[in-house]
Amino acid sequence: MQVTDRTLFYGCLWRALISDPNVRYQGSFYVLSQITKRKRVGQAILGDNRETLIKALCLGLQDSNTLTQRNFLDFALFACPLNTREFARSDILKLLRAALCVLLRRDMSLNRRVYNWLEGHGAEEANETKRISMTSMELHNIMEESDKADQVDGKSSDRF
């Protein structure tokens, strides 16, 4: 049994994320869990007021907690593609401004999410990019371990 309208619920959730920075991480985590559970972004998740949603997203992207920023970037990747007609041009510009400020943190995972969002990659492409970057990191770690083992054994680490 549904007690309240989903659009109204998410509208209130976005307003709560605007007014209290202490609940932004938990709220963004909840929204992402609802998206992944349903495998799509419904209109209800966007709430009843687009301006409120945009303001919440901008504040989430400016949050001092890196995990909160990651969640909001993931949400933007799923729900707010740059080529959508859901949002006004001014709203997209506000989001862009907030997302580009995230780059100043020099956090690779945040930068990758911003890049995927700017490139217009959907969730599937972003997961593929993440998988490829994890594979390259694993390969790098294996090479480093191999070099360390060669140095311990007294072998040359020249590979070429």
Read off the pLDDT of residues 2-19 as tens digits, 9 standing for 90 and up: 666 888 888 899 999 999
Rounded Cα distance, 158 and 106, in Å: 32
> 53 vs 125, which has greater pLDDT?
53
Considering just the CA atoms, what is the radius of gyration of the chain in Å? 20
Using CA of residue 20, residue 81, residue 29, residue 40, what is the dihedral sign?
Answer: positive
Question: Per-residue pLDDT averaged across 24-47, rounded?
Answer: 81
- pLDDT of 67-126, one tens digit each? 989 999 888 888 888 777 878 888 888 888 888 888 888 878 888 888 888 888 765 544
Residue 19: per-residue pLDDT: 93
